[in-house]
Amino acid sequence: MNQDFLIQVGAILDSKYVLTEDADKAPYLTDWRNRFTGRALAVLLPSTSAEVAAIVKLCANTKTAIVPQGGNTGLCGGATPDQSGKQVILSLKRMKQIREIDVANQTISLEAGCILQTIQEKAAEKGFLFPLSLGAEGSCMIGGNLATNAGGTNVLRYGSTRDLCLGLEVVTANGEIWNGMKGLRKDNTGYDLRDLYVGSEGTLGIITAAVMKLYPLPISQWTTLVATQDISSTIALLNLFQQRATSLLTGFEMMTKESLTLIDKHFPQMANPLKGSPPFTILIELSDHESEDHVKQLLEAILEEALESELITDAVIASNLSQANSFWHMREHITLAQAQEGANLKHDITIPLSALDRFISETDALIKAKYPGIRIINFGHLGDGNLHYNVAPPEGVDFKAFNAANEKPVHELIYSQVELCNGSISAEHGVGQLKIDELRAHKGEVAHELMKSIKKALDPQNILNPRKVLSI
């Protein structure tokens, strides 16, 4: 059977694009956090939508499960196969054509394997901003971004990947190509198929291409780091910026003292320019399409108001682009610093801003009481109410042993608090194989059953990324 499959796939792809040797498959079998490792019959590397469609047809005929993979930077194990050795990994990395930049329509049509950073650069060459931006942008791919509905640092102003997507091309579970490559900002023709596939993590179809929105490149950007003493003044500061700067506010990121301690330890060259390790360091960015002076004066005026009303205790405005980039690098390197410190317990959650103060104070108190000495590494896209509320064992305690003994109860404590505050247990990283049980426990029975019905309707043989998102 396995041999049969490989012979038939040889009629679709050149043998150099069918990886079956262990050493060739190895880089595709483990997730970015080294948390999940699987086995695969083969790694398939198609270069066209027609090849993807032919592969999916073959998989449908032979009931072979497919695990789609982009840059393999997902943080929930969604792109990692199971242990059976019977699944195939379908890597989209050879599909990297930019099909068109439509200047009048302000859109870019491109294939799923385009790397996010390359898209930003190609858009900039034509005078456009492609606003999706995240720490993994040098390796993640637009197909993976769409499949996970990635967020990142610009959601506050431009929305998540879903909001940036106007059209999709998808290979369905029976190997048909759905051409939804329309760059329309209005299209009320019944059910929104595009929105079904965005965020479906490879469980409903293979995204092969997309039409994404572009925006004019801002001519002026000002970035500042400010110190706050507590969460309530941080939220008041966000509200002040939202009122005064409105749509010019493009970034509002929070870093706690504990998260910057890890930066000091693992990336000492990225020191926080704010003096005295404040409890909260907030990175704020304003962008403007008009004059350079306008946005700078506005930023200074808001900071002055914030200082006078004691919302902030200190501020540093980046004097040039390279200093602004260094502020962003510090924020983006927290995930890497954490990975170097050890495999902490991660919680990528959203809380309504009005409940954030309560969530943090109550959850911190509960968790510290139950696990004395525990380290809470809390940072995130605060402007979106998105916290990366991560937990590491007390100093000197082995990460593996601590996680093995406490992972489930720690997750449950935090996710119960999330539910009490009407938040979400997955803000931007998705569900993958990591949060299947939690999704079931916290999504609500009706929603969970509806999701299962959609999966059964679109993938009746369950060949697309089985046991990801849902337990089926």
DSSP labels, 148-196: HT---TTHHHH--HHHHEEEEEEE-TTSPEEEE----S---SSS-HHHH
Per CB under 6 A, which region of 131-139, 261-269, 293-301, 358-366 contacts ligand FAD?
131-139
Residue span 331-370 as binding mask against ligand FAD, x where in contact by CB under 6 A, dash where not: ----xx----------------------------------
Closest distance to ligand FAD from the beta carbon of 370 (Å): 29
Closest distance to ligand FAD from the beta carbon of 247 (Å): 21
Per CB under 6 A, which region of 53-61, 130-138, 183-191, 252-260 contacts ligand FAD?
130-138
Can you tell me which of 69, 272, 281, 350 binds ligand FAD, judged by CB under 6 A? 69
Can you tell me which of 201, 253, 285, 438 binds ligand FAD, judged by CB under 6 A? 201
Task: Locate all alpha helices (DSSP H) within 22-141, ordered by sequence.
Answer: 22-25, 49-62, 116-125
Nearer to ligand FAD, 148 or 390 (CB): 148
Asked if 123 interacts with ligand FAD (CB under 6 A), we say no
Number of residues that bind ligand FAD (CB under 6 A): 38
Q: For residue 120, give both structure tokens.
A: 């930003």
In the chain, the largest separation of any two C-alpha atoms, in whole Å, equals 74
CA distances from 5 to 8, 94, 202 (A): 5, 21, 21
Asked if 385 interacts with ligand FAD (CB under 6 A), we say no
Asked if 73 interacts with ligand FAD (CB under 6 A), we say yes
- Beta strand 249-256 with 107-111 is unpaired
Asked if 468 interacts with ligand FAD (CB under 6 A), we say yes
Nearer to ligand FAD, 141 or 214 (CB): 141
Can you tell me which of 18, 112, 166, 324 binds ligand FAD, judged by CB under 6 A? 112
Non-local CB neighbours of 450 within 8 Å, separated by 6+ positions: none
Per CB under 6 A, which region of 66-74, 292-300, 416-424, 442-450 contacts ligand FAD?
66-74
Q: For the beta carbon of residue 301, count every other beta carbon within 10 angstroms.
A: 12
Can you tell me which of 46, 71, 251, 393 binds ligand FAD, judged by CB under 6 A? 71
Asked if 435 interacts with ligand FAD (CB under 6 A), we say no
User: Residue of minimal CB distance from ligand FAD?
Assistant: 144
H/E element holding 231?
helix 231-245
Residues forming beta bridges with residue 392, ordered by sequence position = 375
Can you tell me which of 78, 251, 278, 423 binds ligand FAD, judged by CB under 6 A? 78
Confirm if 217 and 124 have CB atoms less than 8 A apart: yes
Asked if 380 interacts with ligand FAD (CB under 6 A), we say no
**Rounded Cα gap, residues 375 and 393, in angstroms:** 6
Backbone φ, ψ for residue 166 (5° rounding): -105, -30
Per CB under 6 A, which region of 43-51, 71-79, 188-196, 288-296 contacts ligand FAD?
71-79
Nearer to ligand FAD, 274 or 339 (CB): 339
Nearer to ligand FAD, 143 or 423 (CB): 143
Confirm if 134 and 381 have CB atoms less than 8 A apart: no
Asked if 466 interacts with ligand FAD (CB under 6 A), we say no
Confirm if 206 and 52 have CB atoms less than 8 A apart: yes
Closest distance to ligand FAD from the beta carbon of 319 (Å): 26
Residues forming beta bridges with residue 69, ordered by sequence position = 91
Confirm if 414 and 347 have CB atoms less than 8 A apart: yes
Closest distance to ligand FAD from the beta carbon of 292 (Å): 28
Asked if 260 interacts with ligand FAD (CB under 6 A), we say no
Nearer to ligand FAD, 148 or 233 (CB): 148
What is the CA 233 to chain-centroid distance, rounded? 27
Q: For residue 399, give both structure tokens.
A: 């990460």
**Rounded Cα gap, residues 101 and 108, in angstroms:** 4
Can you tell me which of 68, 199, 383, 466 binds ligand FAD, judged by CB under 6 A? 68
Within 276-382, strands assigned E span 280-288, 314-317, 348-350, 375-381
Nearer to ligand FAD, 78 or 251 (CB): 78
Nearer to ligand FAD, 254 or 295 (CB): 254
Nearer to ligand FAD, 152 or 295 (CB): 152
Nearer to ligand FAD, 151 or 466 (CB): 151
Nearer to ligand FAD, 210 or 421 (CB): 210
CA distances from 64 to 4, 51, 77, 289, 325 (A): 12, 16, 19, 51, 45
Q: For the beta carbon of residue 250, count every other beta carbon within 10 angstroms.
A: 24
**Rounded Cα gap, residues 237 and 383, in angstroms:** 10
Per CB under 6 A, which region of 64-72, 228-236, 305-313, 444-452 contacts ligand FAD?
64-72
Which residues would be at the binding site for ligand FAD (CB under 6 A)?
32, 67-75, 78-79, 92, 112, 134-136, 140-141, 143-145, 147-148, 150-152, 201-202, 206-207, 335-336, 428-429, 432, 465, 468
